[in-house]
Amino acid sequence: MGPVISKILSLYNVNRESRTTNHETRTMITTVVFDLDDTLYDEIDYCRSGFTSVSEFIANLPGSPTAQPIFDCLWKHFTTGNRTKTFNTALDQLGIDYDDKFIGELVKVYRNHTPKITLPTNSKDILDQLNGRYMLALLTDGFLPAQQLKVQALGIEKYFNCIVYTEELGRDCWKPSPVGFEKVMEILNVKSQAAAYVADNAKKDFIAPNKLGFMTVQIIRPARIHTQSSDQADAAPQYVIHKITQLPDLFG
């Protein structure tokens, strides 16, 4: 482990004392499980792509403005923190009439659009590097088919021995449920002590894998969408890194 990495790890190596039980039984890491959004690529790129598709959809309706002002309005509200009523607020401002059914259609366009997103070079390099040395898995929450379309667009399916979309197991299996993690362990026949989970969201991503005994690693991407942490003691990741290229050093 290089000096820079060890310094970063010692700075961010939080709450290790409180979880020594899991660490005492840690064996060599054989399996690396990744989250998708804001872990392997910037989710904001997906959102931009989705709002572009929605703008084009609205612009094609009779009497609508062109796509650019619609996109600008949606983007302004989304990027200033309106994450739940983005469509409604933007349509109000644009003076476009709508009802719940129309909003439902826009949500469908967003979740079913073919995203224009690419895998960042450093993510690709790391997946290439880990592939073959570790069993790799993807465990992601989120609506289908949106998550599957993201995986296709990024071209990452080939890297993973198993992909678990928690939505397929049931809405109550989204993180922090342990069900998706148990599914990965069952499919790959791996013990939690030999597995690491790499993800971004300190509110929900690490609760279950901490409890099960995974190594947990938070990656903090500069453009990340979720910046909140959790008050729950068991929600904190065991390691925090700022570049995905720091991963191999963690696994020893």
Instruction: Name the residues that contact Mg ion, by CB under 5 A.
Output: 35, 37-38, 200
Task: Give the Cα-Cα-Cα angle 233, 237, 239 (nearest 5 degrees).
Answer: 135
**Least distance CB 89 / Mg ion (angstroms):** 25
CA dihedral 107, 112, 118, 123 (to 10 degrees): 80
160: helix, coil or strand? coil
Do residues 77 and 86 make contact, with C-beta atoms less than 8 angstroms apart? yes
Q: Select 71 or 160, whichever has its Cβ closest to Mg ion.
A: 160
What share of residues in the chain are helix, strand, coil (percent, to 5)? 50, 10, 35
The tokens describing 251, both together, are 């696994």
Radius of gyration of the chain (CA): 20
Q: Select 123 or 193, whichever has its Cβ closest to Mg ion.
A: 123
Q: Select 71 or 181, whichever has its Cβ closest to Mg ion.
A: 181
**Least distance CB 175 / Mg ion (angstroms):** 9
Other CB atoms within 10 Å distance of the CB of residue 49? 18
Q: Select 37 or 167, whichever has its Cβ closest to Mg ion.
A: 37
Task: Give the Cα-Cα-Cα angle 19, 21, 38 (nearest 5 degrees).
Answer: 45
Of all residues in the shown chain, the one whose CB is closest to Mg ion is 37
**Least distance CB 98 / Mg ion (angstroms):** 30
**Least distance CB 194 / Mg ion (angstroms):** 23
**Least distance CB 172 / Mg ion (angstroms):** 19
Q: Select 71 or 78, whichever has its Cβ closest to Mg ion.
A: 78
